[in-house]
Chains A and B, each alone.
Chain A
Amino acid sequence: MGGTFRLFPEQASTMAGRVDNLYFFMLAVTVFFSVLVATLVVVLALKYRRRKADEVGANIHGSTALEVIWTAIPLLISMVMFVWGTSVYFALAKPPAEALEVYIVGKRWMWKAQHLTGHREINQLHVPVGTPVKLLISSEDVIHSYYIPAFRQKIDAVPGKTTTMWFEANKPGSYQLFCAEYCGTQHSGMIGKVVAMEPREYQQWLTAGAPAGTLTSVGEQEFATLGCVTCHNDRDNARGPSLAGVFGKPQQLANGTTVMADDAYLRESILNPQAKMVQGYQPLMPTYQGQISEDALVTLLAYIKSLDTPGATHDAATPAGTH
């Protein structure tokens, strides 16, 4: 995008080209049918124009063959679009396993980004080119939507939930970041830039702004300050379940069902612990809804996710080579 006149946005992610191909196909279909219908209308209206005031048209009621044709052809073309659109969606929706995670919090009217390294940014997001990046997005107040046109990606930031989106930038540059879901007075000011950098420059950027602690180490402090550790520890008589190795594994619940301990479940269990109780524990934990800021919650999530084996320390989730 930027200073020149153009009719299509820049392609700056691995998915942008795939989305555009579908767009051009559908554009071609639109042009074809619009021109076809417009031509038929004009030609027929002129060819059969009324020549005498009392002239009437032929009493033709229809044609079953034609009805079948113009039901079947649009149906067929629509199904091609459906399958194509769905396959692009699957690719857009499913992040690769080895993606660099960044936490995003929307708040009227700014986007806060927290990297696992502890780097924090507002209305900016620095990412390396050539690495899949997975954003874990939440909102502190109302619904927002994280939108990067150059990457053809968008996902809503919904309060009380974690949504995810991924992209892999393939062209260094600075791209528009918008809030796409109306969120009040300064909605159109809730914009920023996503800066895609060559890996080497990205490393320099990380080093230059090295923060005091990583996201997980801040989360560990939060874990202690909030007193989580008094119940959630590895002792035999602990009042809460140990959280080590919990993330990404199915949990047996008190009501007999199981639940996958993903981001959404961890978030719910902090904000509303009684909703899905793990088997074998008393409902003692207070609700943290409204008691904990979204930023702090994000650090807690990062910390809990880093505990992949009992006794693991806070560096577990830090991507290699960032220190």
Chain B
Amino acid sequence: MPAVHYLNATHGPASWFFTRDHKRIALLYLYSVSAFFLVGGIFAMMIRLELATPRGDLMSAETYNKAFTAHGVVMVFFFLIPSIPAILGNFLVPLMIGAKDLAFPRINLLSWYLYMAGALFGVAALVSGGVDTGWTFYTPYSTAASNTHVVLTAMGAFIAGFSSIFTGLNFIVTIHTMRAPGMTWDRLPLFIWSHYATSLIMMLGTPVIAVTLLMIVLERTLRLGFFNPTLGGDPVLFQHLFWFYSHPAVYIMVLPGMGVISELIAAFSRKPVFGYKMVAMASLGIALISFLVWGHHMFTTSQSVLAAVTFSFLSFLVAIPSAIKVFNWTATLYRGSVLLASPMLYALGFIGLFTIGGITGLFLAAIGLDIHVHDTYFVIAHFHYVMVGGTLLAYLGGMHYWWPKITGRLYSEPWAKTSAVIVFVGFNLTFFPQFVLGYMGMPRRYHAYPVEEVSWQVLNLLSSAGASILALGLVLPAIYLTYSAFWGRPAGPNPWGAYGLEWDTTSPPPTANFEVTPIVTKPAYYYAPEEH
């Protein structure tokens, strides 16, 4: 390991809390986001424990409703949205393009403080009794009926949203202006392309949810009638505004994961990603179309037939770029030099699970079928295949891949492979039965379900059993990675033999990232000379 690097260049709490180093800010995010992942996970376990039996016998209905709300709010706003962009993106965007830092280091630090301020509101809401609206805050329930801490929670998500907006702004400006000499747009790693697309959504979409949450707060506190029909509002208007952001937000959560997967597949096949341009353009295509599909969340609200058909059509279209990516990743393996190291296991698991998650999305885009499965466990299963099978696996894979770069140390590969397998098995056992449950008609957000439905009991029990296996698979990395951070063997600059600017510098990198500004002369993933 180098004698001086970003971790030991300066010392003391102030050197962390006032740092402008994107790598240290990434670590601040890592600690806080991991803490929230633990909190969200505990609420998930509460949900699975309660549903292991049909009767609502473990906790009261109020508690259950607060538990699934807390699970959703924490996982969406405080884990999934910041996870890959704010941790891996923060660390890697400057490194991968050969820059010293992000364009606005102080704004980057401000983003973390905004995230923490939003999180503080969220935690305040939790400890003062929680909130029971679901993470979707549907009106008029959230503004007129719920007597829980809606305002605190909404303010938390509102403030955390600005953290997203600033991060997106920072990435876009950095990618435009701070690329090293020779790092042309067609030489950018696909991780950068996907973060560019994500940043566009963050900047264009997040202000809409901010305004919407503010309207909730105003209707609740000042009785301004936006959504409540007794005050002259329209309850469905809220759903339009909410999903105008929250559907693109799904892509804020999954696009960075796709970027990670492209890097992993290339590094562990030691060859360029197949169809580089198509994969890059697919990211931008997803970002664009994602803004035009929100209505597919409202097929049962009796929206006009024309609107329903249009939204259905566009929802089918948004699936195409994702399909293109899956096929290109798979084709990348062809004539590669494939090493099944732990990050690659996560990447290959991602391809399989994301395929299922993606295609089941088509079931929900087909209106005639969505009418039946809307608001059932089918939807829950679908988005957990995308968010957990997709984003979480990509996050874990990326974390394992860049861990030696971040910490300068290696972890136990056998333990890492074991836990990757446990996560894969536990995940499928948890969420596959939920597809069946959903088609059987079990509605989501149910504290108890009819005892006479024997199949529901069996399927729920399988799901709960799977959740405990999944939890084990997630606890293991926390242990061996922590161990590695202190006692792991030094990794050296490039333990995987991977191609990319981040592997040209030391592990951990110096505060300024590179001793001399790199000059790029070759395309991304240049493992072997051109073949003609």
Bound together, the chains give a CA A66 to CA B278 distance in angstroms of 11
> How many Å lie between the Cα of A178 and that of B363 in the bound state?
21
Q: A82 to B316, Cβ gap below 8 A?
A: yes
- Chain A residues lying within 8 Å of B324, measured Cβ to Cβ, are 67, 70-71, 74
Q: Are B230 and A182 in contact (CB under 8 A)?
A: no
Residues of A with C-beta under 8 A to B445: 182, 187-188
Residues of A179-201 contacting chain B, CB below 8 A: 179-189, 191
A256 is an interface residue with CB less than 8 A from chain B: no
* Residues of B490-532 contacting chain A, CB below 8 A: 497, 526-531
Check if B289 is an interface residue, CB within 8 A of chain A. no
Q: Which of A57, A141, A184 is in CB contact (< 8 Å) with B270?
A: A57
Check B480 for interface membership: any CB of A closer than 8 A: no
Using an 8 Å CB-CB cutoff, how does the interface string of B347-387 with A read, 1 for contact, 0 for none?
A: 01001100110011011011111111011100000000000
> Within 8 Å of chain B (Cβ to Cβ): is A258?
no
**Nearest A residue to B236 by beta-carbon distance?**
A158
- Across the interface, B363 reaches (CB within 8 A) one of A6, A26, A87, A180, namely A26
What is the CA–CA distance of A213 and B328 in the complex, to the nearest angstrom? 69
A25: shortest Cβ distance to chain B, in Å? 10
Expressed in whole angstroms, the Cα–Cα distance for A18 and B366 within the complex equals: 13
Residues of A within 8 A of B232 (CB): 272
Q: Which residue of A lies closest to B323 (CB)?
A: A74
Contact of A41 among B230, B312, B348, B376 (CB under 8 A): B348
- Residue B528 contacts which of A51, A58, A142 (CB distance < 8 angstroms)? A58
Residues of A within 8 A of B299 (CB): 89
Count of interface residues, chain A, beta-carbon cutoff 8 Å: 95
In the complex, whether B196 has a CB less than 8 A from a CB of chain A is no
Q: Residue of B at shortest CB range from A37?
A: B355
CB-CB nearest in chain A for B364 = A85
Q: Interface with B: A115-123, A146-154, A228-236, A297-305, which one?
A: A146-154
How far in angstroms is the closest Cβ of chain B from A181? 6
A56 touches B452 (CB 8 A): no
Q: Find chain B residues with CB under 8 A from A289 CB.
A: 229-230
Q: Do the beta carbons of B134 and A182 come within 8 Å of each other?
A: yes
Considering only residues 25-42 of chain A, those with a C-beta below 8 Å from chain B are 26, 29-30, 33-34, 37-38, 40-41
- A4 to B456: give the CA distance in the assembly, Å: 10
The reply to whether B272 and A82 contact each other, CB–CB distance below 8 Å, is no
Question: How many angstroms from the CA of A78 to the CA of B436 in the assembled complex?
Answer: 22
Q: What chain A residues lie within 8 Å of B105 (beta carbons)?
A: none
A67 to B278, CA, bound (A): 8
> Which of A18, A22, A78 has the largest number of chain B CB atoms within 10 A?
A78
Query: What distance in Å separates the Cβ of A110 from its nearest Cβ neighbour in chain B?
Result: 15
Q: Is the interface of B mostly helix, strand, loop or mixed?
A: helix
When distances are taken between beta carbons in the complex, the residues of chain B under 8 Å from A272 are 232
Using A50-B338, A187-B445 as known contacts, say yes or no to A159 and B450 having CB atoms under 8 A apart.
no
**Residue A238 is within 8 A (CB to CB) of chain B in the complex:** no
User: Which residues of B sit under 8 angstroms from A29, Cβ to Cβ?
Assistant: 359, 362
Segment touching A, from B138-146, B159-167, B215-223: B138-146
Q: Are B334's CB and A181's CB within 8 A?
A: no
Q: Identify which of A160-168, A244-252, A307-315 touches chain B.
A: A160-168
Q: Which chain B residue lies CB-closest to A153?
A: B371
Residues of B within 8 A of A75 (CB): 320
Interface residues of B in 47-98 (CB under 8 A from A): 56, 61-62, 65
Query: Is B207 in the interface zone, CB < 8 Å from A?
Result: no
CB distance from B13 to the nearest CB of A (A): 43
CB atoms of A41 and B141 under 8 A apart: no
Q: Which residues of B contact A71 (CB under 8 A)?
A: 320, 323-324
Q: Chain A: which residue is nearest B319 at the CB level?
A: A78
- Specify which of B301, B336, B374 lies most central, judged by the most chain A CB atoms within 10 Å of its CB: B336
A55 in contact (CB, < 8 A): yes
Q: Are A74 and B348 in contact (CB under 8 A)?
A: no
Q: Is the CB of A60 within 8 A of B363?
A: no
Closest to A75 in B: B320
Q: How far is the CB of B233 from chain A (nearest CB, A)?
A: 9
Q: Is the CB of A19 within 8 A of B330?
A: no
Whether B271 and A57, one on each chain, are in contact in the complex, defined by CB atoms closer than 8 angstroms, is yes
Evaluate contact between A88 and B368: CB separation under 8 angstroms. Answer: yes
Q: List B257-300 residues whose CB lies under 8 Å from chain A.
A: 269-272, 274-278, 299-300
Q: Tell me the residues in window 154-209 of chain B with beta carbons closer than 8 Å to chain A beta carbons.
A: none
Contact of A60 with B334 in the complex, beta carbons under 8 Å: yes
A23 within 8 A of partner (CB):
yes
Interface string of B316-349 (1 = CB under 8 A from A): 1101100110111011011111111000000010
Q: Is the CB of A180 within 8 A of B374?
A: yes
- Once the chains are docked, how many angstroms separate the CA of A60 from the CA of B458? 48
Contact of A143 among B138, B276, B323 (CB under 8 A): B138
The answer to whether B145 and A108 have CB atoms under 8 Å apart is yes
Quick check: A19 and B368 within 8 Å, CB to CB? yes
Q: Does A279 contact B (CB under 8 A)?
A: no
- Whether B270 lies near A290 (C-beta < 8 A) is no
Most chain B CB within a 10 A radius of its CB, from A88, A108, A181, A183: A181
Q: Contact between A49 and B302 (Cβ–Cβ < 8 Å)? A: no
Assembled-state Cα–Cα distance A55/B336 (Å): 9
B452 touches A49 (CB 8 A): no
CA distance A23 to B376 in the complex (A): 15
The answer to the question of A100 belonging to the interface, with a C-beta cut-off of 8 Å to chain B, is no
Q: Is the CB of A143 within 8 A of B271?
A: no
Q: Are B362 and A155 in contact (CB under 8 A)?
A: no
**Which residue of chain A lies nearest to B324 when distances are taken between CB atoms in the complex?**
A71
| Contact yes or no, B360 A30, CB < 8 A | yes
List the A side residues contacting B113 at CB < 8 Å. none
Contact, CB under 8 Å: A22 / B530: no
The answer to the question of B313 belonging to the interface, with a C-beta cut-off of 8 Å to chain A, is yes
Contact of B235 with A by CB under 8 A: yes
B372 touches A19 (CB 8 A): yes
Q: Are A60 and B319 in contact (CB under 8 A)?
A: no
Do A142 and B529 touch across chains, with their CB atoms under 8 A apart? Answer: no
With A58-B271, A59-B530, A60-B334 as known contacts, state yes or no: A49 contacts B340, CB within 8 Å. Answer: yes
On chain B, the residues within 8 Å of A45 by CB distance are 333, 338, 340, 348
Given contacts A70-B323, A158-B235, contact A182 B141 (CB under 8 A): yes
A22 near B366 (CB under 8 angstroms)? yes
As a 0/1 sequence over residues 246 to 270 of chain A, the CB contacts with chain B under 8 angstroms (1 = contact) are: 0000000000000000000000000
Residues of B within 8 A of A26 (CB): 359, 362-363, 366, 369
User: Inside 8 A of A207's CB, which chain B residues have their CB?
Assistant: none
What CA separation (Å) do A41 and B271 show in the bound complex? 16
In angstroms, Cα B523 to Cα A60, docked, is 13
Residue B447 interfacial (CB < 8 Å): yes
* A8 and B439 contact, CB distance less than 8 A: yes
- Assess whether A180 is in contact with B375, with CB atoms less than 8 Å apart: yes
Quick check: B276 and A41 within 8 Å, CB to CB? Answer: no
**A81 and B140: CB pair below 8 A?**
no
Query: Is A91 in contact with B271, judged by CB distance below 8 angstroms?
Result: no
A to B CB contacts below 8 Å, 19 in the list: A1-B452, A1-B453, A7-B436, A38-B355, A44-B333, A57-B270, A57-B336, A58-B335, A59-B528, A60-B271, A67-B275, A89-B312, A93-B305, A150-B441, A154-B300, A180-B375, A180-B444, A182-B444, A186-B61
Query: A161-B229, A188-B443 are known contacts; what are 7 more A-B pairs with Cβ within 8 Å?
Result: A63-B275, A70-B323, A89-B371, A145-B300, A187-B447, A289-B229, A290-B230
